[in-house]
Amino acid sequence: MALPADPVWFITGCSTGFGRELARLVLDRGWRVVVTARAADRVADLAALAEDRALALALDVTDAAQIDAAVAAATARFGRIDVLVNNAGYGYQTSIEEGEEAEIRAQFDANVFGLFALTRAVLPHMRAQGGGAILNITSVGGITGFAASGYYSATKHAVEGWSASLAAEVEPLGISVTCVEPGPFRTDWAGRSLRQTPSRISAYAETAAARMATTSGYSGRQPGDPVRAGAAMIEAVTRPVPPRHLVLGAFAYETARDVFRTRLEALEADRDLALGADYPEGEG
């Protein structure tokens, strides 16, 4: 189903980065938006840009009561939610072996289970209104993996797989699902949304530890522009048929292209092994 002329957007993680820039672009187009952050005062300035079309709410996606309250407030104010943007989340870097259980579980709560819960809360409203669009901000790390980012990448792979199943269930109902897969963007991700457990095992000095050492120094020099990324998301979701995947940035595009090309080549190389695992035709 095509979006209405004046869609209502619900965006998580609007204090900085993609969420903030996307919210500004939505307001610039004259649309309505619910902007959320863990503390509502961090997005109050966005709501002040168009008080009649914006609603600022406190939302910690790991808090079920806050999810219910935010969705209720959004529908009470605007009557509907047309676009849900699951943007809230953060990064965690460490070697796989040195990952801390509490940090790993906290990241899954925010990046995965919180996203799942909010989507479940919004779906009844989209079903009732006959359509909508869901944008799940994953990462190029949801397509492949990098040293030091195993647990972060695992959260993004989880969202990618879940989104494929979600799409199979809701696209017949007029609800589109798009995974947004950015590479490095200037969103202050390293300074604001990244936790690290230092790697002290010498075996990982050239892999996980080396990558963690370069992360903070790279912040502010990434090639990706969050404003252009927001414009791309809007263009994609307002198409008659939004894409299932939206890769953003040259690094992500080139990485994804190479990953898929290599996987296809490997798949074809082992075609006989794959097909030979079935019962012979006519048997079994």
Identity of the amino acid at 272: D
Catalytic residue among 152, 204, 218, 279, which? 152
3-state helix vs strand vs coil in the chain, percent to 5: 50, 15, 30
Contact at 8 Å (CB) between 249 and 223?
Answer: yes
Return the number of other C-beta atoms located less than 10 Å from residue 221's C-beta.
8
204 part of the active site: no
Please spell the DSSP secondary structure of 206-267, one letter per residue. TTHHHHHHHHHHHTT--SB-HHHHHHHHHHHHTSSS--SEEEESHHHHHHHHHHHHHHHHHH
Q: Which residues contact 70 (CB under 8 A, 6 or more apart)?
A: 34, 36, 57, 58, 59
Return the number of other C-beta atoms located less than 10 Å from residue 137's C-beta.
30
CA distance 115 to 137: 10
Return the number of other C-beta atoms located less than 10 Å from residue 236's C-beta.
18
Q: Which residues contact 213 (CB under 8 A, 6 or more apart)?
A: none
User: CA torsion 28→33→34→36, rounded to 10°?
Assistant: -30
CA distance 13 to 11: 7
CA distance 136 to 233: 11
CA distance 37 to 57: 7
> What is the set of active-site residues?
152
